[in-house]
Amino acid sequence: MAASTMPTASSTESRFDQARFIPADAIFALTAQYQEDLSPQKVNLGQGTYRDADGRPWVLPSVKKARESLFEQGLNHEYLPIVGLLKFQQATARLVLGAELSAELGIKVATCQSLSGTGALHLAGLLLRACQKSPPKVYIPEPTWSNHHQVFGSLGFPCESFKYYDHERNDMDIESYYSTLERAEPNSVVILHACAHNPTGLDPSEEHWRQIAHLMKARNLFPLFDAAYLGFNSGNLDEDAFAIRLFIGEMNMEAGICVSFAKNMGLYGERVGCFLLANKSKQIAVNTQSMLEMLQRSEVSNPPAFGARIASQILGRDDLKKMWYADMITMSDRIRSMRNALYDHLVSLGAPGAWEHLIRQSGMFGFLGLSLEIVLRLRGLSSIIILTWRVKEKYHIYMADNSRISIAGLNEGNVEYVARSIAQCLQDVKK
């Protein structure tokens, strides 16, 4: 028999030779560094998760009650439908749009349960790509949540950043925002933070939102809302949903809303989210609903049930919903008090610079405006040499490289220490 002429691969070759090393996600890597730090003084201001006044994870009383109710009813582990738990989707639409607008739109809204907000963004991207001859341009504010670029970039969308924040003034650059929209390519997508902009904590005013909506409608731009902090930002969900309802209700625009219940229900690990799409007609909604079902089937087959059942219990029962609203006020009030406490301590300690921007911000995050050198010094690795000086103190304070902090990581026991450490680092650098 003749020898085989089939090509043989060398033992040193791999079909994955072209794989490139991707550095770890910055925030999750920062959390890992924090966890490895054995200092009793350590403070984690990196990851955006709520902590109570003692610095511990908090299970919302409404969530605890809903969970107990589910176990009393008896749980099974059967599959959900492909697009998820119907009661959860319907309740989410009523919550986000408001009862009146939700009833008015009716079946013109397509819905699909998702793997938290990230999954909703990904579903939105898949649908937008499938409905266009080529992926439209996506305009993303700078700075923004890092996953915005990763989600849409990985799907082949051309992404363009636009200036959202003025670092010199430590304030929102609304004129740059307007200018970007005025020149944006028609039919493009614009990522909008519904409230509690991550990372700056600065949101457009109602007047700003109206101008943004008018510009986007005039340029035929598609609004895609990342709604990760509804109710968590101000303590009032209707107030936080203002922009969404303005675009869809008052301006009569098609829009996508990527909803997450990670923050406002504390369901971080349950990955509870929903994608809502307000369409121009019932028939388009029927069509987009069917496409979402197909796309979901090909990605995850069907979504996880437990967290969605908890959320559905809370949204569907008046007693639990009332408890949840109180829980959101508890969280937003504590964060607001810690924001004010940090500001007060920085000022009283004579920390160099102006700090009014901290109390102009809102929501989970604070954008300090510190240099990378100061951030690294606060982290306090003694082996790091920063410019011409060596770290002498170990402060063990962990925050993102851009000096975004999770205000929820502050409490009465550490806020003065954090402020004093920032003040000392800034004063040392000035010497």
Question: What architecture is the 79-316 domain classified under in CATH?
Answer: 3-Layer(aba) Sandwich (3.40)
pLDDT of residue 10: 58
Write down how long the chain is. 431
Rounded Cα distance between 196 and 68, Å, is: 31
Please check whether residue 226 is in contact with residue 195, taking contact to mean a CB–CB distance below 8 angstroms: no
What pLDDT tens digit does each residue of the chain (431 aa) get? 555 566 655 567 898 988 999 888 888 888 888 888 888 889 999 988 999 999 899 999 999 999 999 998 888 899 999 999 999 999 999 999 999 999 999 999 999 999 999 999 999 999 999 999 899 999 999 999 989 999 999 999 999 999 999 998 999 999 999 999 999 999 999 999 999 999 999 999 999 999 999 999 999 999 999 999 999 999 999 999 999 999 999 999 999 999 999 999 999 999 999 999 999 999 999 999 999 999 999 999 999 999 999 999 999 999 999 999 999 999 999 999 999 999 999 999 999 999 999 999 999 999 999 999 999 999 985 434 444 444 445 799 999 999 999 999 999 999 999 999 999 999 887 76
Greatest distance between any 2 Cα atoms in the chain: 90
DSSP letter assigned to residue 11: T
Task: Return the residue matching tokens 């029927």.
Answer: 286
d(C-alpha 66, C-alpha 171), whole Å = 40
pLDDT at residue 223, rounded to an integer: 98
Rounded CA gap, 139 and 280, in Å? 23
Whole-structure pTM value: 0.91
Q: What contacts 226, CB < 8 A, 6 or more positions away?
A: 117, 121, 145, 148, 191, 192, 193, 194, 258
pLDDT of residue 385: 44
Per the CB < 8 A criterion, the answer to whether 95 and 315 are in contact is yes
pLDDT at position 333:
95
Q: How far is 53 from 210, CA to CA, in rounded Å?
A: 37
Q: Any idea which residues carry the catalytic annotation?
A: 145, 226, 263
Answer whether 339's CB lies under 8 Å from 201's CB: no
- Amino acid letter at 42? K
Assign domain 26-57+333-430 to its CATH superfamily. Aspartate Aminotransferase, domain 1 (3.90.1150.10)
Three-state SS for 373? helix
Whether 26-57+333-430 shares its CATH topology with 79-316 is answered no
- Domain positions in the chain: 26-57+333-430, 79-316
